[in-house]
């Protein structure tokens, strides 16, 4: 029987990053992955493929506005969805192959198969060829990730009634794509197919889309997407989804209790994700799970069994790849006797639509609920020279700062390049910067980042310069 210092179950961003860090710290490390490719949901059917399709569809959309820049494109411009999806898969394959390279480089043993606990120190691996192997781990890290959720009355046939996984490889551009759920996944994939020519309708139970983010961001994104042609049915409770041939009928009740009916050729169910612990046999190791299948952990990501840890989507907190990476690194360093920390308030959230949406820290709604006195400063992208030069005028940056100390408590932005710009806010808040600190930093001109400086000026005695 092979024995390891650390055995990691799952090779998503949390698992493979943890494996690398464990190896760097001198641990003999093994990683178990049930699929034939490494990288988990994020690399194979999540973050990476969806961004590839968003990028391709964005290029197509930009063509529609080339004339505004004095560029005349003659002839017919067509979408080749098959080739677009093939490119997406090539990106996925290259990225997953890169993870395999990193495992080899760091001498991490990769074992393909379904891992399940035998007891607290042994994991059985059921392999695709029917064989099995059991290995021993002094420490074990659960990094099994999550799977798409659904509603109890919906039958997912994965052809017309689909999850995000199937939405990444459709055989055609839908005529009418109805999306149940106005969160990040639904909105991103909705914009992909909207750009390619589909009619897109979003049905959301709550009163706004991207409900976990600041209400101002939700309002602005809704306005922009409506302008692009997306339709929204917020405060609607779906009660039935029925497929008849190639048609799918969705019935939902609005806030008044009235029933509406939408018919599309595809229905994407994007109502969130659930922790994936199916087949893990956590009970054999004595590991406690919640009723929802989530692994219970303490502040050090340690389960109730001392040598077993859990990270990523399978534990509490936001289901984000970069959160999982930080947790994977943290556990590796704890095992090495170090004292790492994660400030969960400073894990940024991003929606990769265009305009992009990004945020870190507290929202206005949270500050009000907590009774925190704060001041806010905003700056619109349309007032930036760089935004006007590029034609990306939608959106704004908003900074929330403590009314007394001026410490930045939250930064919320929607606009071009915001997925990258949010890193400045995270850095500033990690070092407990004040709004005035940011306002006195020189920002290159002309750049989109100037909106952050101007929002900080607005939060500091309302003294933005360019609005």
> What are the residue numbers of the active site?
445
CA distances from 361 to 164, 229, 300, 400 (A): 28, 31, 21, 9
Task: Starting at the earlier edge strand, list the strands of the sheet with 176-180.
Answer: 161-162, 266-269, 176-180, 199-203, 231-233
Neighbours of 405 (CB within 10 A): 10
Angle CA(315)–CA(320)–CA(323) in degrees, nearest 5? 70
Rounded to the nearest angstrom, the gap between the alpha carbon of residue 437 and the centroid of all alpha carbons in its chain is 30
- Could you give the C-alpha distances from 122 to 117, 334, 460, in angstroms and in order? 6, 21, 57
Asked if 183 and 205 touch (Cβ cutoff 8 Å), the reply is no
The angle at the Cα of 313, spanning 101 to 222, to the nearest 5 degrees, equals 105
For residues 297 and 292, give the distance between their C-alpha atoms in angstroms, rounded to a whole number.
14
Pull the structure tokens for residue 328. Answer: 């994977």
Q: Are 160 and 243 in contact (CB under 8 A)?
A: yes
Nearest to 121 by CA among 12, 275, 284: 284
Dihedral pair phi/psi, residue 41, rounded to 5°:
-60, -45
Confirm if 27 and 335 have CB atoms less than 8 A apart.
yes
| Per-residue tokens: 382 | 């349309």
d(CA 365, CA 180): 25
**Distance (Å) of CA 243 to CA 193, 382, 403:** 20, 44, 54
Structure tokens at 326: 């930080």
Where are the extended beta strands (E) located within 143-193?
Answer: 146-148, 161-162, 176-180
Distance of CA 442 to the CA centre of its chain: 31
Structure-token pair, residue 45: 């059917």
Say if residue 240 is preceded by a cis peptide, omega within 30 of 0: no
Q: Name, in order, each residue with C-beta under 8 angstroms of 263's C-beta and a sequence gap of 6 or more.
A: 176, 178, 247, 248, 249, 250
């Amino acid at each position: 029987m092979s024995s390891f210092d650390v055995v990691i179950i799952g090779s998503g961003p949390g698992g493979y990053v943890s494996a690398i860090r464990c190896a760097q710290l001198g641990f003999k490390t093994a990683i178990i992955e049930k699929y034939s490719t490494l990288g988990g949901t994020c690399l194979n059917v999540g973050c990476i493929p969806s961004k590839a399709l968003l990028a391709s569809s964005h290029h197509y959309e930009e063509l529609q506005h080339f004339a505004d820049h004095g560029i005349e494109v003659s002839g017919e411009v067509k979408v080749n969805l098959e080739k677009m999806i093939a490119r997406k898969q090539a990106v996925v394959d290259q990225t997953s192959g890169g993870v395999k390279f990193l495992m080899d480089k760091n001498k991490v043993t990769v074992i393909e198969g379904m891992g399940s606990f035998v007891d607290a120190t042994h994991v059985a691996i059921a392999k695709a060829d029917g064989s099995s192997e059991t290995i021993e781990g002094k420490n074990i890290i659960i990094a099994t990730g999550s799977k798409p959720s659904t509603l109890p009355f919906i039958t997912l046939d994965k052809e017309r009634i689909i999850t995000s996984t199937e939405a990444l490889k459709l055989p055609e551009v839908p005529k009418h794509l109805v999306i149940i759920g106005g969160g990040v996944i639904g909105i991103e994939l909705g914009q992909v197919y909207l750009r390619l020519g589909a009619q897109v309708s979003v049905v959301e139970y709550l009163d706004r889309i991207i409900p976990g983010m600041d209400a101002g961001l939700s309002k602005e994104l809704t306005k922009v997407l409506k302008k692009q042609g997306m339709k929204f049915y917020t405060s609607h409770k779906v009660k039935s989804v029925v497929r008849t041939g190639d048609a799918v009928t969705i019935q939902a009740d609005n806030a008044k209790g009235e029933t509406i009916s939408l018919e599309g050729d595809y229905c994407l169910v994007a109502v969130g994700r659930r922790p994936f612990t199916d087949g893990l046999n956590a009970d054999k190791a004595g590991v406690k799970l919640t009723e929802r299948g989530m692994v219970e952990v303490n502040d050090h990501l340690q389960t109730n069994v001392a040598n077993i840890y859990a990270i990523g989507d399978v534990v509490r907190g936001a289901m984000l790849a970069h959160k999982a990476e930080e947790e994977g690194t943290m556990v590796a360093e704890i095992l090495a006797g170090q004292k790492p920390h994660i400030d969960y308030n400073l894990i940024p959230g991003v929606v990769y639509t265009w305009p992009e949406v990004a945020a870190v820290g507290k929202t206005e709604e949270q500050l009000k609920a907590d009774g925190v006195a704060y001041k806010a400063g905003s700056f619109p992208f349309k007032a930036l020279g760089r935004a006007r030069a590029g034609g990306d005028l939608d959106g704004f940056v908003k900074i929330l700062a403590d009314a007394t100390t001026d410490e930045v408590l939250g930064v919320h932005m929607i606009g071009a390049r915001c997925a990258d710009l949010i890193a400045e806010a995270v850095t500033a808040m990690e070092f407990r910067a004040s709004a005035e600190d940011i306002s006195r930093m020189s920002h290159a001109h002309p750049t989109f980042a100037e909106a952050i400086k101007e929002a900080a000026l607005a939060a500091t005695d309302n003294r933005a310069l360019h609005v």
